[in-house]
């Protein structure tokens, strides 16, 4: 029998995970959601800035769902662990001859045509790679979509909060502004919107109940809730979600108590794809 974590993971293998829908009480997030509604309609390139686990990819997908490109693809490229060959295959111009015709391809651009190309952890690349991707995107769009640039992929670029201050001092930031003219949105960490922690906990518990019908009585004690609200959550929403899932396992699907919450876990490893 699969564990609750395996069951939930398997449901998301063929789709992008979206942060659960709930009524936010945080003024910061209300402002973000309001901006997202406007930004989604503008069809401009975006830069999303935030800490690991804060929900940049979820927000990018929400923008996609609320844009005119919602019927097009949402293609995510994970920059951090890709090697040079993968970058060349994804972004560089590929030329081949088929039936005596010269065929020009840009793999990633074609996969995201008329949709969104999400560059996950873009700021973790070295400067040369970042510049190459920007140049390849612009050149490829003019090659493939020169007769209808509106069908070229809309870029959403993920930048780590930790590296942002250094990133804006590089020539890459200048190139981004000059060539792509993006809108920038900064997402607040969970510790700055503690008003939402209880609602998130309840949402994650409901996810577990749906995934594991035998655990339909799963709950959490008031002491455990208070512990969650007081904790700083360096891994943000994703760390909280993981803590609730692990708490559900350790409590055998009954009542999550303080000692079931894995605050000492190494939270970085499960969150590489944020």
Q: Cα separations (Å) of 145 from 3, 44, 89, 150, 184? A: 46, 16, 19, 8, 25
Residue 74 and residue 152 in one domain: yes
The CATH number of whichever domain residue 260 belongs to comes to 1.10.8.60
pLDDT in tens, the chain (274 residues): 344 444 433 333 333 333 445 578 888 888 888 888 889 988 999 999 999 999 999 899 999 999 999 999 999 999 887 778 888 888 888 766 666 666 678 899 999 999 999 999 999 888 888 999 999 999 999 988 988 888 999 999 999 998 898 899 999 999 999 999 999 999 999 999 999 999 999 999 999 999 998 999 999 999 999 999 999 998 999 999 999 999 999 999 999 999 898 865 444 444 444 5
Boundary residue ending a domain (138, 153, 187): 187
Return the SS3 of 153: coil
The CATH number of whichever domain residue 170 belongs to comes to 3.40.50.300
Q: Are strands 74-78 and 116-120 parallel, antiparallel or unpaired?
A: parallel
Q: Shortest CA distance to 243 belongs to which of 272, 210, 266, 221?
A: 266
The domain of 217 spans 4-19+191-271
Total of domains in the chain: 2
Residue 123 and residue 169 in one domain: yes
Phi, psi (deg, nearest 5) at residue 266: -80, 90
- Name every residue whose Cβ is closer than 8 Å to that of residue 201 and which is 6 or more positions away in sequence: 220, 225, 228, 240, 244
How big is the CA angle at 59 (ends 58 and 61), to the nearest 5 degrees? 65
Residue 70 and residue 171 in one domain: yes
pLDDT score for 267? 46
CA–CA separation, 262 and 249 (whole Å): 11
230 contacts 223 by C-beta, under 8 angstroms: no
Chain-centre distance for alpha carbon 29? 16
Residue 79 and residue 204 in one domain: no
- Beta bridge partners, 219, equal 255
Q: Shortest CA distance to 77 belongs to which of 44, 46, 121?
A: 121
Render 62-114 in DSSP notation, one character per residue.
HHHHTSTTTTS-EEEEE-TT--HHHHHHHHS-EEEEETTEEEEE-HHHHHTTT
203 contacts 245 by C-beta, under 8 angstroms: no
Q: Are strands 101-105 and 94-98 parallel, antiparallel or unpaired?
A: antiparallel
Return the SS3 of 51: coil
CA–CA separation, 250 and 101 (whole Å): 61
Crossing angle, helix 236-250 and helix 222-230, to 10 degrees? 150
Boundary residue ending a domain (166, 187, 208): 187
Residue 31 and residue 62 in one domain: yes
Q: Shortest CA distance to 228 belongs to which of 255, 254, 194, 204?
A: 194
CA–CA separation, 218 and 49 (whole Å): 35
Question: Is pTM beyond 0.85 here?
Answer: no
Residue 166 and residue 69 in one domain: yes
Boundary residue ending a domain (131, 157, 187): 187
Across the chain, where does the E strand assignment appear? Answer: 46-50, 74-78, 94-98, 101-105, 116-120, 154-160, 183-186, 219-220, 255-256
């Amino acid at each position: 029998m699969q564990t609750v974590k395996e069951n939930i993971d398997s449901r998301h293998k063929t789709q992008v995970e979206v942060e659960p829908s709930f009524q936010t009480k945080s003024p910061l997030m209300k402002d973000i959601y309001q901006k997202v509604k406007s930004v989604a309609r503008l069809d401009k390139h975006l830069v999303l800035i935030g800490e690991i686990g804060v929900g940049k990819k979820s927000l990018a997908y929400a923008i996609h769902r609320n844009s005119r490109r919602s019927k097009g693809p949402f293609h995510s490229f994970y920059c951090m662990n890709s090697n040079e060959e993968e970058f060349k295959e994804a972004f560089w111009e590929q030329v081949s001859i088929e039936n005596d015709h010269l065929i020009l391809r840009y793999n990633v651009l074609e996969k995201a045509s008329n949709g969104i190309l999400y560059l996950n952890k873009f700021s973790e690349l070295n400067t040369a790679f970042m510049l190459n991707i920007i140049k390849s995107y612009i050149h490829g769009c003019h090659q493939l979509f020169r007769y209808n640039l509106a069908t070229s992929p809309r870029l959403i670029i993920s930048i780590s909060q930790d590296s942002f201050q250094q990133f804006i001092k590089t020539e890459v930031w200048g190139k981004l502004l000059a060539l792509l003219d993006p809108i920038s949105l900064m997402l607040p960490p969970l510790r700055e919107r503690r008003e939402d922690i209880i609602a998130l906990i309840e949402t994650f518990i409901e996810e577990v109940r749906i995934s594991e019908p035998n655990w339909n009585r799963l709950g959490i004690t008031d002491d455990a809730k208070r512990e969650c609200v007081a904790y700083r959550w360096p891994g943000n929403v994703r760390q909280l979600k993981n803590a609730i899932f692990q708490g559900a396992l350790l409590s055998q699907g009954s009542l999550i108590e303080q000692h079931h919450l894995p605050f000492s876990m190494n939270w970085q490893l499960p969150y590489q794809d944020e």
